[in-house]
A and B are shown apart, each in its own frame.
Chain A
Amino acid sequence: MTQDRYNSSSIYNPFPMRVVAKREEAPGVRTLKLEFVNQEDHEFFTSNYRTGMFGLYGIFGEGESTFCVASPETRKDYIECTFRQSGRVTTTLAGVDPGDIVTFRGPYGNRFPIEKFEGKNLLFIAGGIALPPTRSVIWSCLDQRDKFRDVTIVYGARTVADLVYKHELDEWKRRDDVKLVLTVDPGGETPDWQDHVGFVPSVLEQVAPSPDNTIAVLCGPPIMIKFTLNALGKLGFSEADVYTTLENRMKCGVGKCGRCNVGSVYICKEGPVFTAAEVQAMPQHDL
């Protein structure tokens, strides 16, 4: 399906997207809500997007930058993306306002197989700006809550200010069918901080549910992933039941430009979603 659309037009020609909302998440971190300008682009997205996929977001004249689709597969009338302002493209994207047009190419890559998660307990673990990819899966599951058993979310950031999606954190906290555990790194707490202080792996060890019949979804910076995988291993999680996402510098998103591979695995095509077992099988020094 994806290929058909792109074989009839250039695989490098993006969709125009209208910015309909903009949200300040944390210092330097923004979320844009984008709507489709063209009906056919929207239809294409609707029939292809599944949670976990990514896109290339761009501004003509500046270029494109790769990040996940932060909105869930259960809400396909728009695309949300969350990014940290750091390079040329993200700096420009950070400056757009509602009404402006940006571009989107995608959805690309593989997905979280959430139908396999049905009937199981779910443990979501995210660090810092990696909540957005996790949040896409979280809402994809919460929007069909009755298909899943207990849902636990462990989210940590360097400081309280660095926590993103604060309004949704409040919402999850209020729900009685979600257990939300928040933590900030030591020194990152504010005087009125009520939640945990400590690094994600150690907090996880205190709060994690039993690994029995539980799927873990883990997104974060490489160093956090590494230590959290260790923690999950200690807790008895099988590597096949832990899902994570990898990211690398990308230009094409469609398996041509040759830079995103880890060992023989093209992140843009075979990823970005992998089980921990799959990640362990990759050459670790290529990550």
Chain B
Amino acid sequence: MKRLSIFNVTSLTLGFTFLYLPMVLLVIYSFNESKLVTVWAGFSTKWYGELLRDEAFLSAAWITLEVAIISSTFATILGTMAAYVLVNSGRFFGRTLFSGMIYAPLVMPEVITGLSLLLLFIGIGLDRGVLTIVLAHTTFSMCFVSVVVSSRLVSFDRSLEEAALDLGCNRFDAFRLVTLPIIAPAVISGWLLAFTLSLDDLVIASFVSGPSSTTLPIKIWSAVRLGVSPEINALSTLMIGIVTVGVISASLVSKRNSVRAQRDAQAAERGA
């Protein structure tokens, strides 16, 4: 029987306080009346109003969302393909290089990735803008997607796919009707991961974006360099809120699904 010792409880309490206190303070101070962010002057939502009237922030948010949706979709398709190749294709020419190129971007410093992509885009004469950010984001997020998806593919029972092939499916149908539904949770979390990575990226976007394609992180960055501002606190609170709701509802859905799957499995056992 496991029991939490005093030491365990203390380290968990201190650790989670450390993780959450800064964000909680940020949220509290976004409702501060005063322009001085560290002096509390009463409750107010005026910074939210000001934020929503700020055209520059809104257009940056729109570009960021556009880039994130397109790049995470491409990254999911390419990353799933790459995962399928890594797990199922056995040996082929250049396999080591391939898996190296999948894993290296996960830990590559963003300054290097950003610099190298910019030099490529300039070398081939591609104008910097939304397209170049999409290409850059797709490239690094597809690697994250493929790691997430391949961890699911490894535990996938290939005999199911072989059964579908024996029963007359072609390879693509077998993938679409059998493999894809089973790995779907991993593909969806891969998409979400790619989406957040793209929303969050500052360094690579600073290199590859043009003057007409300022993303939200670049906008936040230039504001933050000047110090703490209540408007940024309000924006941060909105972003933290959206992420929290998203992550909690996603985990509730997956929990409900796994409970249902368990119940089905039990029912099937009883029936048999």
- State whether these chains interact: no
Residues of B whose CB lies within 8 Å of any CB of A are none
Residues of A within 8 A of B (CB): none
